[in-house]
């Protein structure tokens, strides 16, 4: 199985935001769409990713700082202040096992799929797990059919 096949099943809907958008608006979008990440776009170009991981890190840092004195609300921060600017990307022809290895090594749960300069979509850890489960289910059905149709010995 390849990344392009996972994208076909998942669909290529992209949830994106601008670098100057408020983090609070991005969080609302992520919650509303049940997505753990948004792609940060400047025009047609991907300039970063914002995931719940970056948001949680800032919240934890702010909590420590708050104990030492007042801090401005996170709602006033811009996406560019938190976004991950150099996400690992994958190609549509990448094999599923290679994709899993990249996710593990890069510690990224969300990987943009890029072909040349064109962003095709984002593959999540959940998408990979679902693809593996579907593939195993199909193989299981095929094996059961093969066993069921095996000629009986007389």
Token pair 């202040």 is found at 81
Cα 7 from Cα 90, distance rounded (Å)? 12
What are the structural domains of the chain? 3-148 (3.10.580.10)
Q: What mean pLDDT comes out for the span 48-67?
A: 84
Cα 112 from Cα 77, distance rounded (Å)? 24
Q: What mean pLDDT comes out for the span 77-93?
A: 93
Residue 154 reports pLDDT greater than 70: no
CB-CB contact of 54 with 109 (8 Å): no
Token pair 């549509």 is found at 92
Residue 53 reports pLDDT greater than 70: yes
Q: What global pTM score does this model have?
A: 0.78
3-state DSSP call for residue 127?
A: helix
Cα 81 from Cα 91, distance rounded (Å)? 27
pLDDT digits (tens, 9 = 90+) for 132-145: 777 665 566 666 77
CB-CB contact of 17 with 25 (8 Å): yes
Q: What mean pLDDT comes out for the span 44-70?
A: 84
- In 3D space, the residue among 108, 62, 71 whose CA is nearest the CA of residue 89 turns out to be 108
């Amino acid at each position: 199985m390849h990344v392009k096949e996972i994208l076909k099943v998942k669909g290529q809907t992209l949830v994106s935001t601008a670098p100057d958008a408020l983090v609070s608006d991005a969080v609302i979008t992520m919650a509303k769409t049940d997505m753990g990440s948004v792609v940060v776009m400047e025009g047609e170009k991907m300039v970063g990713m914002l995931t719940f991981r970056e948001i949680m890190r800032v919240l934890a840092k702010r909590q420590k700082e708050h104990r030492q004195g007042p801090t401005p609300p996170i709602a006033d921060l811009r996406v560019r202040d938190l976004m991950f600017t150099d996400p690992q990307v994958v190609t549509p022809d990448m094999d599923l096992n290679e994709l899993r290895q990249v996710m593990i090594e890069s510690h990224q749960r969300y990987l943009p799929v890029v072909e040349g300069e064109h962003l095709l979509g984002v593959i999540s850890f959940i998408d990979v797990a679902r693809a593996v489960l579907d593939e195993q289910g199909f193989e299981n059905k095929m094996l059961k059919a093969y066993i069921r149709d095996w000629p009986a010995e007389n």
